Amino acid sequence: MMLAWLTQLAQTALVLALAPLLSGVTRKIRARLLRRQGPSIVQPYRDLLKLIRKETVIAENASWLFRAAPYVVFATTWVAAALVPTFATGLTLSASADLIVIVALLGTARFLLALAGLDVGTSFGGIGSSREMMFASLAEPAMLMSVFTLSLFAGSTELSSISAYMLGPNAGLSISLALALVALVIVSLGENARIPVDNPATHLELTMVHEAMILEYSGRHLAVIELAASLKLLLYLSLIACVFIPWGTTLAGDGALAYAIGLGAYAAKLAALAFFLVLFETAIAKMRVFRVPEFLGVALMLGLLGTIMLFVSRVRG
């Protein structure tokens, strides 16, 4: 019990500490793949420090919602990220919030951020919010369909249980799982504003969605939002890691060595996933906005197909 709480606390702190590093690593890999030197991998930490030291400028007609939103967005994202097993399963909080809750918590964050984008009443904020919600209207159901597949497979919607099930002897290769993986990868690209959907590095007005939504933010507010965005990326990568490459994850009741292995494995998984993410990003061009619904629609259909196949194939008492 005590250990479970400790693990939970450690993971909650770990995701927060690692999130900017992950962003730094992806940027570094990307720069190297483009044959640039690139900034140091700790640059995101420096950026955050720089931002919180700066004066915050907000628009004259910004309301309390604009000022409160970053904190709530960050808080919900952090809580969601703390619910995903990173190096060890058997999280204490897993028993109180399952995978559907994680998806919905990210939904709450998105909802408030989209509102914040509309608050000042600029055209860019509006374009960002509007498109973000359009993407979400397909990405969220696609994500839920993958969640359904995983839950039906493992007989539980709790992420710790799913992860433990995947490590166990009953898990095996399945077409449904593959479909869920593809859907989940597509959703992660869309939800994290990665390249075929959005470009995290651009500030070119017409190509940006997420960046347009937060255009009016500056200083400490922006720092909090940036941190939330990198937490979200970490969350998705951890999710894929703990479900589809569960090996090495510490199970509840393992010894101290297992925790060390779990940590090492987690770092390796994140690095590998970040590499593949960036490799995919550099290999593909950004889509037009109205191509994105087709892209995300594919995810939705794959997720649905995976779920239907499980519904049809499972005969369980």
Partner 1 sequence: MLLASPACSSQLAASGLALLLALAAFGIFAARRPLGGRLVYAACMLLCSGLAGVALSALLAPHARLEPIEIPLGLPLGRTLLGFDPLSAAFAVIINVATAIVSGYAIGYGAHAREPLRVVPFYPAFIAGMNLVLLAQDAFSFLIGWEFMSLASWALVVSEHGSAENRRAALVYLIMATGGALTLLLAFGLLAGPEGGYAFEAIRRSSAPGVGAIVLVLALVGAGSKAGLVPLHAWLPLAHPAAPSHVSALMSGVMTKVAVYGFVRLVFDLAGPPSWWWSVPVLVIAGITALLGVLYALMEHDLKRLLAYHTVENIGIIFIGLGLALAFEATGLRVAAALALTAAIFHVFNHSLFKSLLFMGSGAVLNATGERDMEHLGGLIHRMPVTALAFLAGCIAISALPPFNGFVSEWLTFQAILVSPQLPQWVPRLLVPAIGATLACSAALAAACFVKAFGMTFLGRPRCAAATTARETDYWSRSAMLTLAALCLLAGILPGLVIDALDPLTQMLVGAQLAPQAAQPWLRIVPIDPARSAYNGALVFVLILIAAAATAFAVRRFASHALRRSPAWDCGFPDASPATQYTAGSFAQPIRRVFGSVVFRAREHVEMPKPGETSAAKFRVDLHDTIWEALYLPVIRGVNATADRLNQLQFLTIRTYLSLVFAALVLLLVVVGAWR
User: Nearest-CA neighbor of 133 among 313, 305, 296, 314?
Assistant: 296
Using CB under 8 A as the binding rule, whether residue 312 contacts partner 1 is answered as: yes
DSSP code of residue 84: S
Using CB under 8 A as the binding rule, whether residue 93 contacts partner 1 is answered as: yes
Using CB under 8 A as the binding rule, whether residue 84 contacts partner 1 is answered as: no
Among 32, 121, 168, 201, binds partner 1 (CB under 8 A): 121
* Tokens encoding 202: 């651009």
The CA distance from 35 to 185, in Å, is: 26
Q: Which DSSP helix (H) or strand (E) runs through 153?
A: helix 123-154
- Shortest Cβ distance from residue 94 to partner 1 (Å)? 9
- Shortest Cβ distance from residue 63 to partner 1 (Å)? 4
> Which residue matches tokens 């197909």?
305
Among 53, 168, 279, 282, binds partner 1 (CB under 8 A): 53
Among 24, 44, 262, 303, binds partner 1 (CB under 8 A): 303
Q: Which C-beta is closer to partner 1: that of 29 or that of 212?
A: 212
Q: Which stretch binds partner 1 (CB under 8 A): 29-37, 169-177, 220-228, 264-272?
A: 220-228
DSSP code of residue 246: -
User: Nearest-CA neighbor of 23 among 207, 183, 234?
Assistant: 234
* Tokens encoding 77: 């994202």
Distance of CA 23 to the CA centre of its chain: 12
Q: Which C-beta is closer to partner 1: that of 29 or that of 164?
A: 164
CB atoms within 10 A of CB 252: 13
Among 151, 163, 188, 199, binds partner 1 (CB under 8 A): 151
Using CB under 8 A as the binding rule, whether residue 289 contacts partner 1 is answered as: yes
CB atoms within 10 A of CB 295: 17
Using CB under 8 A as the binding rule, whether residue 155 contacts partner 1 is answered as: yes
> Which residue matches tokens 């420096």?
46
User: Nearest-CA neighbor of 58 among 121, 120, 133?
Assistant: 120
Using CB under 8 A as the binding rule, whether residue 214 contacts partner 1 is answered as: no
Using CB under 8 A as the binding rule, whether residue 196 contacts partner 1 is answered as: no
Q: Which stretch binds partner 1 (CB under 8 A): 31-39, 68-76, 254-262, 274-282?
A: 68-76
Q: Which stretch binds partner 1 (CB under 8 A): 23-31, 98-106, 168-176, 249-257?
A: 98-106
